[in-house]
Chain A
């Protein structure tokens, strides 16, 4: 064939490739920006305005909106809280009804669009640091209740602080491609999800009394099987407003959670680890992890911040403080029922650290830890949590155990536990090798089989 024919074919091929590329980009952009409006709403809106506001206040707690939308020591929901991430720092915006700096000019439809589609009223795409990837599962009725509550807040005139993101993450339009890969607007939810909650809300928003630790469920010692309605409701709370997956699942290089379930993962930007919320299935046939927790134990942790198996610490203490302690008893139990319905996940066998490390760790444990956590790591719940079988201690990542040893911390203060015990920080008295040894020890004593920790991991966590 002649040179011109070759050139002709190559030119054609190139053109096809370019067209394909353009088509792909266009398709992805369309996928990332499209909106499929659901045609009906599964639940009717709460008719009484006062009740709607009260239920919205309850939902704002469930979602812990204040965690990102209220700065430390700042006005409620006026924004400014920093959310660190590998892509830069996000700042939660002002969501009070101030028309200029808040969302006072938003309609209920605008608010729904933000929650369900992740878009601002002007159509601009929202960063998924605002977890609309989960909030998209919230019903229109609940979104309207939240909206009504936010409208009832005092308007605070305070400019939202702009995000400080690295290039290219600061290019908002690129979110279209991220969304094409990782965001699908919620489908029509199960009509059963809110039926229980509406009657619940009338009382829970105003008077959700304290529970004694470990006694949330009014049931007998052998718990009755969870009702299907409770599991459905729990799933709705976990996958929607609760946005549990934000911390309890791994994220890919683009910061998206991709897999199914809540298998646990490092919390990017915070340096903590959200443990798996599945029952464990170890190689030796034992069932570690959440398998040891009853639904009542889980509900106790959510509402009281402490349980007989462990206390909330780090980011989870914050979640309990701002959110889950306000859950109604039935919603807390619904979340627990749903988590207990998740399939068991196998726990890989990890080789134990060397005996020299373990001996050193045991000695340090005997000096600093045993007075509270006891000789068999059984602790004295709920003042001092057990370390044997503790979710954070035995997690694949040692981050939480290292951080708690270095920084200490109080369990969250809740109605049932208003004066929580605090763990002292040991970062000043123990060096990196000491911390590595003692964390290695507690991760491999009393039946724990979580593997060792290096001094370098401790150094990085400081």
Chain B
């Protein structure tokens, strides 16, 4: 399969561990259905990136699912996190939005859907760590402008549209600065009650430090999520 997917890894890195710059995100270890949905979205015009659309144009659903499966099964090590922003207030704002949200503005915490460890939730919600700052900012921006879409109800589009530019910058700065080494434990929290999840989801001794999506049904979502709910 690795040989068949040279067209993918040329940009997304060996095993899909991410490209050299911020444009080609990590694919390895993301939930299979998340990856599958993105392949469908690129092929069918719900995400806009011509090189991806060109490559996927003649590939049927079955092969796209195989490709998604292969990348979701790869677990190469994560790179070192980005240097934290020098703006301490921005980092604090980012951490707060990610872990607590903002009830006054009806913004749920990122962790409410993406898992307490921000490692994603099976089958289709992706993890948020190990991604470049620019990539995170660009994706939220695409959701705000409608360039990026997901299955309805598109919860991420609703939330992205409620974010101010400063919020996006803060969230991207904080997320990209978190190390991906502690398995399924909440970043910034002591290793404690969530150890059960870690042992379930993360294979001990894996190169990715056990940073794996939380199991299906382990998180009760505060919003309706078309991507998560449409998976058969």
Contact = CB atoms under 8 A, between A and B. Distances in A.
B217 interface: no
Given A419-B4, A425-B7, A409 B43 contact: no
B55 A409 contact: yes
A424 interface: yes
Query: Helix, strand, loop or mixed for chain B's interface?
Result: helix
Q: Which of B4, B56, B59, B63 has the most CB of A within 10 A?
A: B59
A426 B53 CA distance: 16
Interface residues of A, number: 25
A421 B4 contact: yes
A84 B5 CA distance: 30
A420 B11 CA distance: 18
Given A407-B54, A425-B51, A418 B8 contact: no
Given A413-B58, A419-B4, A421-B3, A72 B45 contact: yes
A73 B10 CA distance: 26
B44 interface: yes
Contact of B8 (A383, A407, A422): A422
B222 interface: no
A5 interface: no
A217 interface: no
A413 B59 contact: yes
Interface string A290-332: 0000000000000000000000000001101100000000000
A412 interface: yes
A73 B43 contact: yes
Interface string A370-398: 00100000000001000000000000000
Contact of B62 (A372, A418, A421): A418
Contacts of A427: 51
B6 to A, nearest CB: 5
B46 interface: yes
Interface string B198-227: 000000000000000000000000000000
B162 interface: no
B58 A317 contact: yes
B58 A372 contact: no
Contact of A420 (B4, B9, B44, B46): B4
Contacts of A128: none
B1 interface: yes
B37 to A, nearest CB: 13
A372 B60 CA distance: 24
Contacts of B59: 410, 413, 420
B158 interface: no
A423 interface: yes
A193 to B, nearest CB: 30
A104 interface: no
Interface string A96-126: 0000000000000000000000000000000
A199 interface: no
A355 interface: no
A271 interface: no
Given A73-B44, A423-B6, 15 more contacts: A72-B43, A321-B58, A383-B4, A408-B7, A409-B54, A413-B58, A419-B63, A419-B66, A421-B4, A424-B10, A424-B11, A425-B10, A425-B11, A425-B54, A427-B51
28 contacts: A72-B44, A72-B45, A72-B53, A73-B46, A317-B57, A318-B58, A321-B58, A408-B7, A408-B54, A408-B55, A409-B55, A410-B58, A410-B59, A413-B63, A418-B63, A419-B1, A419-B4, A420-B4, A421-B3, A422-B4, A422-B5, A422-B6, A422-B7, A422-B55, A424-B9, A425-B11, A426-B10, A428-B11
